[in-house]
Amino acid sequence: MSAILVSEPPFGNVTQRISKIVDQFEKKGYSGFSAGEAWAPNVNLYETDGAYVVCVDLAGVQKEKIEIEVVDQLLTLKGHRAVPTEFDPVAVSCKGRCKVHLMEIDHGSFRRQVELPQDVLKNEITASYRNGLLWIELPKK
């Protein structure tokens, strides 16, 4: 009998969501639980010969609502994403009240920290925001 190694377990996304909810329960208890409280955006980290690159999924966040701070070896991202309420007028018409049946898109204040390597040129960090993705380039010394 042969074994197949799967890189991601079945229902991996469901497991992530359940873990997030359990974490919120443990930190705040059931009475303090709110799906819209502080959240952490997903991050990809890349490395090239000359730089580290951080890609942050911030779809729906206004560029002006994003704060980037580097202190010592810690990159901190903060900001706010409003509840998505603007509907495509061709696809949906929601005048007045609108029932919510499912809300999976995180909203509200967010904060994410990424530890930086020692060889980052902090004075040369650049950032750009395109198509809902924040790209931060951290040149190496």
d(CA 53, CA 44) in angstroms, rounded, equals: 8
DSSP state of 120: B
Same domain, 27 and 80: no
DSSP state of 39: B
Our count of domains for the chain comes to 2
Residue 112 token pair: 């994410």
- Please report whether residue 2 resides in a domain: no
Query: Whole-model pTM above 0.85?
Result: no
- The residue ranking higher by pLDDT, 58 or 29, is 58
122 has pLDDT over 70: yes
Same domain, 69 and 97: yes
pLDDT tier, 83 (very low <50, low <70, confident <90, very high otherwise): confident
pLDDT tier, 25 (very low <50, low <70, confident <90, very high otherwise): low
Length of the chain: 141
96-132: string of b/e by CB count within 10 Å (b at 16+)? eeeeeeeeeebbeebebebebeeebeeeebeeebeee
d(CA 115, CA 24) in angstroms, rounded, equals: 23
Give the structural domain span for 30: 7-36
Same domain, 28 and 43: no
- The residue ranking higher by pLDDT, 134 or 27, is 134
d(CA 16, CA 42) in angstroms, rounded, equals: 12
Query: Which pLDDT score is estimated for 124?
Result: 95
Same domain, 30 and 52: no
Query: Which pLDDT score is estimated for 21?
Result: 64
Same domain, 91 and 27: no
d(CA 121, CA 128) in angstroms, rounded, equals: 17
Q: Are strands 74-81 and 108-115 parallel, antiparallel or unpaired?
A: antiparallel
d(CA 109, CA 88) in angstroms, rounded, equals: 25
Mean pLDDT lowest among 20-34, 88-102, 120-134: 20-34
